[in-house]
Amino acid sequence: MGEYLAWDIGGLLAVVLVAVLAAFALLSLRRWLLERRGGTVECSLRDPHGRGVWRLGIGRYNGDELLWFAIFGIRLRPRRVVHRRGLVVSGRRKPEAEEEAALQPDAGILEIQDGNGTVELAMSGAALTGFLAWLEAAPPGTPLA
C-alpha cells in the first residue's frame, strides 16, 4: 500500500509542478506579446477612491492613449485606457512610507484625471519623465484639456 501512496504523491507533485511551469510560461508569453511592439513601461496603478491597493502593471503608449495592463493576468486587453486628450495631472508626490514596499525604489506618483475618473500612477523617475514628455508632445493645434 505504501508504494501506491508514494506513486500517488509523486504523480500529484508532478501535476502541480507542470501546472506552475505552465502558468509561468503563459505569463511570460503574455508579457512578451505586450512588450514586443515597444513603447512600454512598468507602472503601478491605484484607484484612490476604491480599494486603494497598488497594482503592478505595464503601460504601453499607443498614439494618444496609454494602455495599462495588469502584470498578473491573462487578458490581452488593457484594464485601463488613459486618453491624452482631456488628461489633467492634478498632483505629484513621493511614495509614503507604507507605499514604498509595493512600488519601485525610485518611484514617483502622479494623480491624474481623465474622462474615466481619477487614478494614481507610480513609475520610475525616467518613466515619469517620459510620461510627462508624452503628455506635452501632442500634435500642434490639439487641445489637451
User: What are 59-86's pLDDT values in tens digits?
Assistant: 999 888 898 988 887 777 888 898 888 8
Average pLDDT over residues 8-35: 77
The closest alpha carbon to 58, from 29, 94, 34, belongs to 34
Inform me whether the pLDDT recorded for 4 exceeds 80.
no
Give the list of residues 6+ apart from residue 132 with CB closer than 8 angstroms, or none.
Answer: 89
Burial of 16 (0-12, 13-18, 19+ CB in 10 A): exposed
User: What are 99-144's pLDDT values in tens digits?
Assistant: 888 888 888 999 998 887 888 999 998 999 999 899 888 766 665 5
What are the beta bridge partners of residue 60? 40, 67
Burial 61-96 (b: 16+ CB within 10 A, else e): beeeebbbbeeeeeeeebebebebeebeeeeeeebe
